[in-house]
Structure 1
Protein backbone atom coordinates (compact mmCIF):
# COMPACT_ATOMS: atom_id res chain seq x y z
CA UNK A 1 0.00 0.00 0.00
CA UNK A 2 2.81 2.40 0.89
CA UNK A 3 4.52 1.54 -2.40
CA UNK A 4 1.40 2.38 -4.39
CA UNK A 5 1.06 5.67 -2.52
CA UNK A 6 4.71 6.56 -3.25
CA UNK A 7 4.32 5.70 -6.93
CA UNK A 8 1.19 7.84 -7.08
CA UNK A 9 3.07 10.85 -5.72
CA UNK A 10 5.92 10.20 -8.16
CA UNK A 11 3.55 10.06 -11.13
CA UNK A 12 1.95 13.36 -10.13
CA UNK A 13 5.36 15.02 -9.79
CA UNK A 14 6.42 13.56 -13.12
CA UNK A 15 3.36 14.89 -14.93
CA UNK A 16 3.98 18.35 -13.49
CA UNK A 17 7.52 18.42 -14.92
CA UNK A 18 7.27 16.48 -18.15
CA UNK A 19 8.07 19.47 -20.33
CA UNK A 20 11.07 20.65 -18.30
CA UNK A 21 14.60 20.04 -19.53
CA UNK A 22 17.14 21.59 -17.15
CA UNK A 23 18.20 19.37 -14.24
CA UNK A 24 17.35 20.55 -10.70
CA UNK A 25 20.44 21.67 -8.77
CA UNK A 26 21.20 23.18 -5.35
CA UNK A 27 18.01 21.85 -3.76
CA UNK A 28 19.10 19.12 -1.37
CA UNK A 29 17.71 18.86 2.17
CA UNK A 30 20.39 18.53 4.88
CA UNK A 31 23.28 18.21 2.42
CA UNK A 32 24.83 21.32 0.85
CA UNK A 33 25.34 21.07 -2.91
CA UNK A 34 28.42 22.79 -4.35
CA UNK A 35 26.68 25.12 -6.81
CA UNK A 36 26.58 28.88 -6.27
CA UNK A 37 23.74 31.00 -7.63
CA UNK A 38 23.95 32.31 -11.18
CA UNK A 39 24.30 36.09 -11.71
CA UNK A 40 21.08 37.87 -10.75
CA UNK A 41 19.38 34.70 -9.49
CA UNK A 42 18.28 34.87 -5.83
CA UNK A 43 17.06 31.83 -3.91
CA UNK A 44 14.65 31.79 -0.96
CA UNK A 45 14.58 28.49 0.95
CA UNK A 46 12.23 27.38 3.71
CA UNK A 47 12.83 24.13 5.55
CA UNK A 48 10.90 22.48 8.38
CA UNK A 49 11.83 19.39 10.34
CA UNK A 50 9.92 17.60 13.08
CA UNK A 51 11.48 15.00 15.38
CA UNK A 52 9.82 12.27 17.39
CA UNK A 53 9.81 11.23 20.27
CA UNK A 54 11.14 14.64 21.37
CA UNK A 55 8.16 16.36 19.68
CA UNK A 56 10.43 19.29 18.85
CA UNK A 57 10.69 21.08 15.52
CA UNK A 58 12.93 23.51 13.71
CA UNK A 59 12.31 25.94 10.85
CA UNK A 60 14.93 27.77 8.82
CA UNK A 61 14.69 30.57 6.30
CA UNK A 62 17.69 30.86 3.98
CA UNK A 63 18.37 33.55 1.39
CA UNK A 64 21.20 33.00 -1.15
CA UNK A 65 22.42 36.03 -3.12
CA UNK A 66 25.16 36.03 -5.79
CA UNK A 67 27.86 38.71 -5.53
CA UNK A 68 28.45 39.91 -9.11
CA UNK A 69 28.78 36.35 -10.51
CA UNK A 70 28.81 32.67 -9.53
CA UNK A 71 32.29 32.91 -7.98
CA UNK A 72 31.13 34.66 -4.81
CA UNK A 73 27.89 34.16 -2.89
CA UNK A 74 26.44 35.63 0.30
CA UNK A 75 23.64 34.01 2.25
CA UNK A 76 22.04 34.10 5.67
CA UNK A 77 20.11 31.53 7.67
CA UNK A 78 17.46 32.43 10.26
CA UNK A 79 16.43 29.48 12.46
CA UNK A 80 13.27 29.24 14.54
CA UNK A 81 13.23 26.46 17.15
CA UNK A 82 10.54 24.88 19.29
CA UNK A 83 11.77 23.33 22.54
CA UNK A 84 9.88 21.47 25.22
CA UNK A 85 9.56 23.26 28.53
CA UNK A 86 10.58 21.73 31.85
CA UNK A 87 7.96 19.99 33.97
CA UNK A 88 5.26 22.51 34.80
CA UNK A 89 6.55 25.04 32.24
CA UNK A 90 5.23 25.96 28.79
CA UNK A 91 7.03 24.99 25.58
CA UNK A 92 9.20 27.71 24.06
CA UNK A 93 9.49 28.86 20.43
CA UNK A 94 12.17 31.43 19.58
CA UNK A 95 14.78 32.48 17.01
CA UNK A 96 18.14 30.74 17.36
CA UNK A 97 21.62 31.91 16.39
CA UNK A 98 21.71 33.37 12.85
CA UNK A 99 24.36 32.36 10.30
CA UNK A 100 25.99 34.82 7.87
CA UNK A 101 27.68 32.86 5.07
CA UNK A 102 30.22 33.50 2.34
CA UNK A 103 30.77 30.74 -0.24
CA UNK A 104 33.45 30.60 -2.91
CA UNK A 105 32.99 28.61 -6.13
CA UNK A 106 36.42 27.03 -6.28
CA UNK A 107 35.58 24.71 -9.17
CA UNK A 108 32.55 24.06 -11.38
CA UNK A 109 33.05 21.71 -14.33
CA UNK A 110 30.60 19.35 -16.01
CA UNK A 111 31.68 16.61 -13.61
CA UNK A 112 32.96 18.20 -10.40
CA UNK A 113 31.94 21.28 -8.40
CA UNK A 114 33.72 22.41 -5.22
CA UNK A 115 32.58 25.24 -2.95
CA UNK A 116 33.99 26.01 0.54
CA UNK A 117 31.75 28.03 2.88
CA UNK A 118 32.84 30.32 5.74
CA UNK A 119 30.19 31.37 8.26
CA UNK A 120 29.89 33.78 11.16
CA UNK A 121 27.48 32.59 13.85
CA UNK A 122 25.64 35.60 15.29
CA UNK A 123 24.52 35.21 18.94
CA UNK A 124 20.90 36.18 18.28
CA UNK A 125 19.33 33.33 20.26
CA UNK A 126 18.51 33.57 23.97
CA UNK A 127 21.15 31.34 25.59
CA UNK A 128 19.34 31.54 28.96
CA UNK A 129 16.51 29.52 27.40
CA UNK A 130 18.72 27.19 25.35
CA UNK A 131 18.26 28.85 21.94
CA UNK A 132 21.85 29.90 21.38
CA UNK A 133 25.39 30.00 22.74
CA UNK A 134 25.47 33.63 23.86
CA UNK A 135 28.66 34.41 21.87
CA UNK A 136 29.81 34.62 18.26
CA UNK A 137 31.17 31.49 16.60
CA UNK A 138 32.70 30.29 13.35
CA UNK A 139 31.70 27.50 10.97
CA UNK A 140 33.38 26.02 7.92
CA UNK A 141 31.90 23.55 5.43
CA UNK A 142 33.43 22.00 2.32
CA UNK A 143 30.91 20.91 -0.31
CA UNK A 144 31.77 18.78 -3.33
CA UNK A 145 29.36 17.59 -6.03
CA UNK A 146 30.14 14.87 -8.58
CA UNK A 147 27.96 14.38 -11.67
CA UNK A 148 28.40 10.87 -13.07
CA UNK A 149 25.86 11.17 -15.89
CA UNK A 150 22.45 12.71 -16.60
CA UNK A 151 20.85 10.39 -14.01
CA UNK A 152 23.23 10.15 -11.04
CA UNK A 153 24.84 12.81 -8.84
CA UNK A 154 26.83 12.39 -5.62
CA UNK A 155 27.37 15.13 -3.00
CA UNK A 156 29.84 15.25 -0.09
CA UNK A 157 30.05 17.60 2.92
CA UNK A 158 32.66 17.91 5.68
CA UNK A 159 33.16 20.75 8.12
CA UNK A 160 33.49 22.01 11.66
CA UNK A 161 32.09 24.59 14.09
CA UNK A 162 34.05 26.46 16.77
CA UNK A 163 32.44 28.58 19.48
CA UNK A 164 34.81 30.14 22.06
CA UNK A 165 33.45 30.66 25.59
CA UNK A 166 29.96 29.43 24.76
CA UNK A 167 27.37 29.72 27.55
CA UNK A 168 24.80 27.30 28.88
CA UNK A 169 21.47 28.38 30.36
CA UNK A 170 22.97 29.32 33.72
CA UNK A 171 25.94 31.20 32.29
CA UNK A 172 28.68 28.57 32.70
CA UNK A 173 31.19 28.76 29.83
CA UNK A 174 33.41 26.46 27.77
CA UNK A 175 34.89 26.61 24.27
CA UNK A 176 33.02 24.20 21.99
CA UNK A 177 34.05 22.28 18.89
CA UNK A 178 31.88 20.21 16.60
CA UNK A 179 32.18 18.54 13.23
CA UNK A 180 29.82 17.45 10.48
CA UNK A 181 30.01 14.90 7.70
CA UNK A 182 27.49 13.94 5.06
CA UNK A 183 26.96 12.41 1.67
CA UNK A 184 24.02 11.91 -0.65
CA UNK A 185 22.99 10.26 -3.90
CA UNK A 186 20.50 11.90 -6.27
CA UNK A 187 18.74 9.97 -9.02
CA UNK A 188 16.96 11.92 -11.75
CA UNK A 189 13.72 10.11 -12.55
CA UNK A 190 13.16 13.04 -14.90
CA UNK A 191 15.27 16.22 -15.11
CA UNK A 192 12.81 17.93 -12.75
CA UNK A 193 11.79 15.03 -10.49
CA UNK A 194 14.54 13.52 -8.38
CA UNK A 195 14.88 10.85 -5.71
CA UNK A 196 17.39 11.60 -2.92
CA UNK A 197 19.02 9.61 -0.16
CA UNK A 198 21.19 11.56 2.30
CA UNK A 199 23.36 10.45 5.22
CA UNK A 200 24.22 13.12 7.79
CA UNK A 201 26.39 12.95 10.91
CA UNK A 202 26.67 15.85 13.37
CA UNK A 203 28.85 15.73 16.48
CA UNK A 204 28.68 18.82 18.69
CA UNK A 205 29.94 19.67 22.15
CA UNK A 206 27.67 21.31 24.74
CA UNK A 207 28.53 23.15 27.95
CA UNK A 208 28.08 20.73 30.88
CA UNK A 209 29.61 23.00 33.54
CA UNK A 210 32.26 25.66 33.94
CA UNK A 211 35.01 24.58 31.50
CA UNK A 212 33.30 21.19 31.17
CA UNK A 213 31.92 19.76 27.92
CA UNK A 214 29.84 16.84 26.71
CA UNK A 215 29.48 15.55 23.15
CA UNK A 216 26.13 14.96 21.47
CA UNK A 217 26.10 13.05 18.17
CA UNK A 218 23.27 12.38 15.74
CA UNK A 219 23.15 10.12 12.67
CA UNK A 220 20.35 10.32 10.13
CA UNK A 221 19.55 8.78 6.78
CA UNK A 222 17.09 10.89 4.81
CA UNK A 223 15.31 9.32 1.82
CA UNK A 224 13.19 11.83 -0.07
CA UNK A 225 11.82 13.24 -3.28
CA UNK A 226 11.87 16.70 -4.86
CA UNK A 227 10.36 18.21 -7.97
CA UNK A 228 10.37 21.56 -9.76
CA UNK A 229 8.07 23.65 -11.91
CA UNK A 230 8.15 27.08 -13.48
CA UNK A 231 6.10 30.02 -12.21
CA UNK A 232 6.62 32.43 -15.08
CA UNK A 233 9.68 32.55 -17.30
CA UNK A 234 12.30 33.35 -14.64
CA UNK A 235 11.01 31.77 -11.41
CA UNK A 236 11.41 28.14 -10.37
CA UNK A 237 9.62 26.56 -7.39
CA UNK A 238 11.04 23.38 -5.85
CA UNK A 239 9.06 21.51 -3.17
CA UNK A 240 10.40 18.39 -1.51
CA UNK A 241 9.76 15.99 1.35
CA UNK A 242 11.91 13.43 3.16
CA UNK A 243 11.91 11.10 6.14
CA UNK A 244 14.38 11.55 9.03
CA UNK A 245 15.47 8.08 10.17
CA UNK A 246 17.87 7.70 13.07
CA UNK A 247 20.94 5.45 12.80
CA UNK A 248 23.32 4.26 15.52
CA UNK A 249 22.65 6.11 18.81
CA UNK A 250 19.82 8.02 17.10
CA UNK A 251 18.19 4.68 16.23
CA UNK A 252 18.57 3.42 19.81
CA UNK A 253 16.72 6.53 20.96
CA UNK A 254 14.05 5.86 18.28
CA UNK A 255 14.61 9.27 16.67
CA UNK A 256 12.63 9.77 13.50
CA UNK A 257 10.75 12.55 11.83
CA UNK A 258 9.88 14.39 8.65
CA UNK A 259 11.65 17.07 6.59
CA UNK A 260 9.69 19.47 4.36
CA UNK A 261 11.46 21.73 1.85
CA UNK A 262 10.36 24.64 -0.35
CA UNK A 263 12.61 26.76 -2.57
CA UNK A 264 11.69 29.76 -4.72
CA UNK A 265 14.43 30.78 -7.12
CA UNK A 266 14.01 33.85 -9.30
CA UNK A 267 16.13 36.04 -11.58
CA UNK A 268 15.81 39.51 -10.08
CA UNK A 269 18.39 41.43 -12.17
Structure 2
Protein backbone atom coordinates (compact mmCIF):
# COMPACT_ATOMS: atom_id res chain seq x y z
CA UNK A 1 0.00 0.00 0.00
CA UNK A 2 1.38 3.44 -0.92
CA UNK A 3 1.01 6.51 1.30
CA UNK A 4 1.72 10.10 0.18
CA UNK A 5 4.50 11.84 2.07
CA UNK A 6 2.12 14.63 3.14
CA UNK A 7 -0.12 12.06 4.83
CA UNK A 8 2.82 10.49 6.64
CA UNK A 9 4.08 13.91 7.76
CA UNK A 10 0.62 14.78 9.07
CA UNK A 11 0.56 11.67 11.23
CA UNK A 12 4.12 12.39 12.38
CA UNK A 13 3.17 15.89 13.50
CA UNK A 14 0.12 14.62 15.37
CA UNK A 15 2.15 11.96 17.17
CA UNK A 16 4.96 14.37 17.97
CA UNK A 17 2.64 16.96 19.47
CA UNK A 18 1.20 14.28 21.72
CA UNK A 19 4.59 13.20 23.08
CA UNK A 20 5.17 13.88 26.77
CA UNK A 21 7.92 16.26 27.83
CA UNK A 22 8.72 18.36 30.88
CA UNK A 23 9.89 21.35 28.83
CA UNK A 24 9.87 22.41 25.16
CA UNK A 25 12.11 19.89 23.39
CA UNK A 26 15.16 20.76 21.32
CA UNK A 27 14.94 20.08 17.59
CA UNK A 28 15.67 16.51 16.50
CA UNK A 29 19.41 16.08 15.91
CA UNK A 30 19.69 12.42 14.96
CA UNK A 31 21.76 11.46 11.96
CA UNK A 32 20.04 11.83 8.64
CA UNK A 33 19.35 8.46 7.06
CA UNK A 34 21.99 8.49 4.29
CA UNK A 35 24.06 11.42 5.61
CA UNK A 36 25.77 11.97 8.99
CA UNK A 37 25.05 15.08 11.02
CA UNK A 38 28.05 16.66 12.78
CA UNK A 39 26.76 16.42 16.37
CA UNK A 40 28.46 14.04 18.81
CA UNK A 41 26.58 12.54 21.74
CA UNK A 42 26.23 14.77 24.78
CA UNK A 43 27.82 13.75 28.09
CA UNK A 44 25.98 10.84 29.70
CA UNK A 45 23.68 10.23 26.71
CA UNK A 46 23.95 7.00 24.66
CA UNK A 47 22.15 6.44 21.37
CA UNK A 48 20.98 3.11 19.91
CA UNK A 49 20.17 3.25 16.18
CA UNK A 50 18.54 0.59 14.01
CA UNK A 51 18.05 0.93 10.26
CA UNK A 52 16.49 -1.40 7.70
CA UNK A 53 16.54 -0.87 3.95
CA UNK A 54 15.16 -3.08 1.21
CA UNK A 55 15.75 -2.70 -2.51
CA UNK A 56 12.37 -3.08 -4.17
CA UNK A 57 14.01 -4.18 -7.45
CA UNK A 58 16.73 -6.68 -6.42
CA UNK A 59 14.99 -7.64 -3.13
CA UNK A 60 18.33 -7.29 -1.31
CA UNK A 61 18.03 -5.96 2.24
CA UNK A 62 20.32 -4.57 4.94
CA UNK A 63 19.80 -4.17 8.69
CA UNK A 64 22.29 -2.18 10.77
CA UNK A 65 22.61 -1.58 14.50
CA UNK A 66 24.77 1.32 15.73
CA UNK A 67 25.53 2.34 19.30
CA UNK A 68 27.14 5.74 20.02
CA UNK A 69 28.90 6.60 23.31
CA UNK A 70 30.37 9.95 24.49
CA UNK A 71 33.87 9.46 25.93
CA UNK A 72 33.09 10.85 28.40
CA UNK A 73 31.72 14.12 26.95
CA UNK A 74 30.78 15.53 23.56
CA UNK A 75 34.37 16.12 22.34
CA UNK A 76 35.08 12.42 21.77
CA UNK A 77 32.67 9.71 20.63
CA UNK A 78 33.11 5.98 20.11
CA UNK A 79 30.62 3.79 18.26
CA UNK A 80 30.25 0.56 16.35
CA UNK A 81 28.02 -0.54 13.48
CA UNK A 82 26.87 -4.14 12.98
CA UNK A 83 25.44 -4.91 9.51
CA UNK A 84 23.25 -7.94 8.82
CA UNK A 85 22.26 -8.44 5.20
CA UNK A 86 20.81 -10.61 2.49
CA UNK A 87 22.08 -10.44 -1.08
CA UNK A 88 20.00 -12.40 -3.54
CA UNK A 89 22.96 -13.03 -5.88
CA UNK A 90 25.20 -14.50 -3.17
CA UNK A 91 26.05 -18.17 -3.83
CA UNK A 92 24.46 -19.41 -0.60
CA UNK A 93 21.44 -17.06 -0.77
CA UNK A 94 21.55 -16.64 3.01
CA UNK A 95 21.35 -13.64 5.32
CA UNK A 96 24.46 -13.10 7.46
CA UNK A 97 26.81 -10.59 9.07
CA UNK A 98 28.69 -8.14 6.83
CA UNK A 99 31.82 -6.08 7.59
CA UNK A 100 31.66 -4.43 11.05
CA UNK A 101 32.72 -0.79 11.61
CA UNK A 102 34.50 0.56 14.71
CA UNK A 103 34.23 4.36 14.76
CA UNK A 104 35.83 7.34 16.46
CA UNK A 105 34.50 10.91 16.01
CA UNK A 106 36.00 14.18 17.20
CA UNK A 107 33.83 17.27 17.72
CA UNK A 108 36.19 19.69 16.01
CA UNK A 109 33.84 22.67 15.87
CA UNK A 110 30.50 23.59 17.40
CA UNK A 111 27.77 21.37 18.83
CA UNK A 112 24.01 20.96 18.52
CA UNK A 113 23.45 24.61 19.49
CA UNK A 114 26.01 26.12 17.11
CA UNK A 115 25.29 27.56 13.63
CA UNK A 116 28.16 25.45 12.22
CA UNK A 117 29.41 22.09 13.49
CA UNK A 118 32.20 19.84 12.23
CA UNK A 119 32.92 16.30 13.50
CA UNK A 120 35.44 14.23 11.47
CA UNK A 121 35.22 10.46 11.83
CA UNK A 122 37.78 7.65 11.44
CA UNK A 123 36.67 4.02 11.20
CA UNK A 124 38.19 0.57 10.98
CA UNK A 125 36.23 -1.74 8.69
CA UNK A 126 36.69 -5.27 10.00
CA UNK A 127 36.55 -8.24 7.55
CA UNK A 128 33.76 -10.04 9.44
CA UNK A 129 31.68 -10.65 6.29
CA UNK A 130 32.33 -13.51 3.90
CA UNK A 131 33.64 -12.05 0.63
CA UNK A 132 32.97 -15.39 -1.11
CA UNK A 133 29.28 -14.70 -0.48
CA UNK A 134 29.53 -11.01 -1.57
CA UNK A 135 29.11 -9.78 2.02
CA UNK A 136 32.48 -8.09 2.54
CA UNK A 137 35.90 -7.18 1.19
CA UNK A 138 37.96 -9.88 2.92
CA UNK A 139 40.48 -7.39 4.38
CA UNK A 140 40.70 -4.57 6.92
CA UNK A 141 39.56 -1.22 5.55
CA UNK A 142 40.26 2.33 6.69
CA UNK A 143 37.52 4.94 6.39
CA UNK A 144 37.49 8.71 6.93
CA UNK A 145 34.45 10.97 6.77
CA UNK A 146 34.03 14.72 7.22
CA UNK A 147 30.49 15.71 8.30
CA UNK A 148 29.63 19.43 8.37
CA UNK A 149 26.30 20.79 9.65
CA UNK A 150 25.11 24.34 8.90
CA UNK A 151 21.99 26.15 10.15
CA UNK A 152 20.66 28.04 7.12
CA UNK A 153 17.57 29.46 8.80
CA UNK A 154 15.51 28.99 11.93
CA UNK A 155 13.67 26.05 10.36
CA UNK A 156 16.21 24.80 7.80
CA UNK A 157 19.46 22.91 8.40
CA UNK A 158 21.82 21.34 5.87
CA UNK A 159 24.44 18.63 6.35
CA UNK A 160 27.39 17.81 4.10
CA UNK A 161 29.56 14.65 3.97
CA UNK A 162 32.78 13.86 2.14
CA UNK A 163 34.52 10.55 2.76
CA UNK A 164 36.78 7.80 1.49
CA UNK A 165 37.45 4.15 2.29
CA UNK A 166 40.75 2.43 1.43
CA UNK A 167 40.96 -1.37 1.58
CA UNK A 168 44.43 -2.76 0.81
CA UNK A 169 44.42 -6.39 -0.29
CA UNK A 170 40.65 -6.56 -0.78
CA UNK A 171 39.37 -9.87 -2.15
CA UNK A 172 36.56 -10.82 -4.52
CA UNK A 173 34.51 -14.02 -4.40
CA UNK A 174 37.18 -15.87 -6.42
CA UNK A 175 39.93 -14.87 -3.99
CA UNK A 176 41.65 -12.34 -6.31
CA UNK A 177 43.26 -9.38 -4.52
CA UNK A 178 43.66 -5.66 -5.24
CA UNK A 179 43.86 -2.39 -3.30
CA UNK A 180 40.55 -0.55 -3.70
CA UNK A 181 39.20 2.88 -2.80
CA UNK A 182 35.63 4.17 -2.49
CA UNK A 183 34.68 7.87 -2.44
CA UNK A 184 31.40 9.11 -0.98
CA UNK A 185 29.63 12.46 -0.99
CA UNK A 186 26.31 13.40 0.55
CA UNK A 187 24.06 16.32 1.41
CA UNK A 188 20.80 16.57 3.29
CA UNK A 189 18.29 19.35 3.89
CA UNK A 190 16.21 19.11 7.06
CA UNK A 191 13.05 21.20 7.39
CA UNK A 192 12.16 21.66 11.06
CA UNK A 193 8.42 21.60 10.50
CA UNK A 194 7.97 21.19 14.27
CA UNK A 195 10.48 20.62 17.12
CA UNK A 196 9.31 17.00 17.06
CA UNK A 197 8.88 16.46 13.30
CA UNK A 198 11.17 16.89 10.30
CA UNK A 199 10.79 16.58 6.55
CA UNK A 200 14.03 15.50 4.88
CA UNK A 201 15.62 15.47 1.43
CA UNK A 202 18.96 13.68 1.00
CA UNK A 203 21.43 13.21 -1.84
CA UNK A 204 24.06 10.44 -1.69
CA UNK A 205 26.74 9.60 -4.27
CA UNK A 206 29.45 6.94 -4.16
CA UNK A 207 32.15 5.86 -6.58
CA UNK A 208 33.85 2.63 -5.59
CA UNK A 209 36.48 0.34 -7.02
CA UNK A 210 35.90 -3.41 -7.13
CA UNK A 211 38.33 -6.32 -7.45
CA UNK A 212 38.08 -7.47 -11.09
CA UNK A 213 41.02 -9.91 -11.04
CA UNK A 214 44.52 -10.31 -9.56
CA UNK A 215 45.66 -6.68 -9.20
CA UNK A 216 42.84 -5.54 -11.51
CA UNK A 217 40.08 -3.10 -10.57
CA UNK A 218 36.65 -2.15 -11.88
CA UNK A 219 34.41 0.71 -10.78
CA UNK A 220 30.80 1.04 -9.66
CA UNK A 221 28.99 4.36 -9.17
CA UNK A 222 25.72 4.98 -7.32
CA UNK A 223 23.55 8.06 -6.85
CA UNK A 224 20.34 8.31 -4.82
CA UNK A 225 17.83 11.02 -3.95
CA UNK A 226 15.87 10.23 -0.81
CA UNK A 227 12.80 12.08 0.52
CA UNK A 228 11.82 11.15 4.06
CA UNK A 229 10.27 12.09 7.40
CA UNK A 230 11.12 11.53 11.05
CA UNK A 231 9.52 12.50 14.33
CA UNK A 232 10.38 12.35 18.04
CA UNK A 233 8.63 11.09 21.14
CA UNK A 234 10.08 12.74 24.27
CA UNK A 235 9.48 11.34 27.76
CA UNK A 236 9.94 12.75 31.26
CA UNK A 237 12.70 10.23 31.98
CA UNK A 238 14.84 11.83 29.27
CA UNK A 239 14.24 9.01 26.79
CA UNK A 240 13.76 10.12 23.20
CA UNK A 241 12.45 7.74 20.53
CA UNK A 242 12.86 8.78 16.89
CA UNK A 243 11.23 6.68 14.15
CA UNK A 244 11.65 7.62 10.49
CA UNK A 245 10.79 6.55 6.95
CA UNK A 246 12.39 7.35 3.58
CA UNK A 247 12.23 6.25 -0.05
CA UNK A 248 15.67 6.32 -1.77
CA UNK A 249 15.31 6.66 -5.55
CA UNK A 250 18.17 5.81 -7.91
CA UNK A 251 19.14 8.38 -10.56
CA UNK A 252 21.97 8.53 -13.09
CA UNK A 253 24.10 5.37 -12.63
CA UNK A 254 21.45 3.97 -10.26
CA UNK A 255 18.45 4.77 -12.44
CA UNK A 256 15.63 2.28 -11.87
CA UNK A 257 16.61 1.39 -8.29
CA UNK A 258 13.93 1.98 -5.66
CA UNK A 259 14.22 1.26 -1.97
CA UNK A 260 12.34 1.73 1.27
CA UNK A 261 14.26 2.78 4.39
CA UNK A 262 13.17 2.51 8.03
CA UNK A 263 14.91 4.24 10.95
CA UNK A 264 14.48 3.83 14.71
CA UNK A 265 16.57 5.50 17.41
CA UNK A 266 16.49 5.27 21.21
CA UNK A 267 18.46 7.94 23.07
CA UNK A 268 18.56 8.19 26.85
CA UNK A 269 20.74 9.45 29.73
CA UNK A 270 22.86 6.58 31.02
CA UNK A 271 24.83 8.40 33.73
CA UNK A 272 25.04 11.84 35.37
CA UNK A 273 27.89 13.93 33.95
CA UNK A 274 30.44 15.41 36.34
CA UNK A 275 30.00 19.09 37.08
Counterparts of 1:106 and 1:73, CA distance in 2: 12
With normalisation by structure 1, the TM-score equals 0.93
Q: Secondary structure at the match of 2:132?
A: helix
Indicate if the aligned counterparts of 2:16 and 2:233 stay in contact, CA closer than 8 A: no
Structure 1: 5+ residue runs without aligned partners? none
User: Which residue number in structure 2 is paired with residue 68 of structure 1?
Assistant: 72
Give how far 1:11 is off.
4.2
User: Which residue number in structure 2 is paired with residue 201 of structure 1?
Assistant: 205
2:243 maps to which of 217, 239, 246: 239
User: What is the correspondence of 1:16-35 to structure 2 with a 5 Å cutoff?
Assistant: 16-17=18-19, 20-35=24-39
Indicate if the aligned counterparts of 1:27 and 1:238 stay in contact, CA closer than 8 A: no
Indicate if the aligned counterparts of 2:16 and 2:232 stay in contact, CA closer than 8 A: no
Give how far 1:197 is off.
0.3
User: Which residue number in structure 2 is paired with residue 51 of structure 1?
Assistant: 55
Give how far 1:26 is off.
2.4
Task: Report the number of matched residues.
Answer: 265
Is 1:146 equivalent to 2:150 in the alignment? yes
Provide Cα deviations, 1:101-153, integer angstroms capped at 9, x if missing partner.
00000001520000000000111111111111111010000000001233110
**Root-mean-square deviation over aligned CA pairs:** 1.7
Give how far 1:201 is off.
0.4
1:175 maps to which of 166, 175, 179: 179
Q: Secondary structure at the match of 1:148?
A: strand
With normalisation by structure 2, the TM-score equals 0.91
User: Which residue number in structure 2 is paired with residue 265 of structure 1?
Assistant: 267
**Residue range with higher mean Cα deviation, 90-99 or 38-47:** 90-99
Provide Cα deviations, 1:217-250, integer angstroms capped at 9, x if missing partner.
1100110000001244221100000001111121
User: Which residue number in structure 2 is paired with residue 15 of structure 1?
Assistant: 17
Indicate if the aligned counterparts of 1:85 and 1:92 stay in contact, CA closer than 8 A: no
1:3 to 1:101, Cα distance in 2 relative to 1, 3 A: closer
Q: Secondary structure at the match of 2:104?
A: strand
Indicate if the aligned counterparts of 1:96 and 1:126 stay in contact, CA closer than 8 A: yes
Structure 2: 5+ residue runs without aligned partners? none
Counterparts of 2:202 and 2:20, CA distance in 1: 25
Counterparts of 1:199 and 1:101, CA distance in 2: 23
Q: Secondary structure at the match of 1:32?
A: coil
Indicate if the aligned counterparts of 1:26 and 1:34 stay in contact, CA closer than 8 A: no
